[in-house]
């Protein structure tokens, strides 16, 4: 039986809950409908998150994204709804969803929505390129 769109987001246990690690996903085929004209809107979604106890399962994420194909949605509303649904399913330490909608009427629209678990702070970033360039200058 072929897959069908679904609003169900499945999860699996974080394999390393003791560590902050970054998951990055690119979803280049997101579509929904303009609520004013009914014409299709196309976007690339960028999902970045640091899981707590759960990670989102990819097939369910694909079917969830597919479920918006025939829905009329304003860009701002659909981006925030997707983020809310993903946060509800996974309860991450941090999550950012960037929706890069393709041009419509000469205007590109990018919507960025974020969630941060109360009290969570990221560890300071380590820039390894600085260390590499310094070690190459030493004799």
Selection from 18, 44, 24 nearest residue 111 by Cα: 44
**Does residue 70 carry a catalytic annotation?**
no
Query: Is 11 strand, coil or helix?
Result: strand
Q: Which of 20, 34, 48, 85 is catalytic?
A: 34
**Does residue 84 carry a catalytic annotation?**
no
Rg (CA), the chain: 18
CA distance linking residue 59 with residue 41, whole number of Å: 22
Contact 41, 101 (CB under 8 A): yes
- What six digits make up the tokens of 121? 């702070």
- Which amino acids are annotated catalytic? 34, 41
């Amino acid at each position: 039986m072929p897959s069908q769109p679904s609003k169900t987001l499945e999860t699996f246990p974080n394999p390393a809950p003791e560590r902050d690690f970054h998951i990055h996903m690119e979803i280049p085929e997101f579509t929904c409908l303009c609520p004013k004209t009914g014409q299709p809107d196309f976007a690339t979604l960028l999902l970045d998150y640091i899981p707590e106890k759960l990670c989102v399962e990819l097939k369910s994420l694909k079917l969830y994204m597919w479920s918006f194909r025939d829905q009329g949605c304003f860009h701002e509303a659909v981006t925030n709804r997707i983020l809310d649904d993903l946060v509800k399913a996974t309860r991450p330490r941090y999550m950012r969803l960037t929706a890069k909608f393709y041009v419509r009427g000469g205007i590109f629209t990018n919507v960025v929505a974020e969630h941060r678990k109360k009290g969570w702070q990221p560890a300071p970033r380590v820039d390894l390129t600085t260390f590499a360039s310094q070690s190459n200058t030493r004799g």
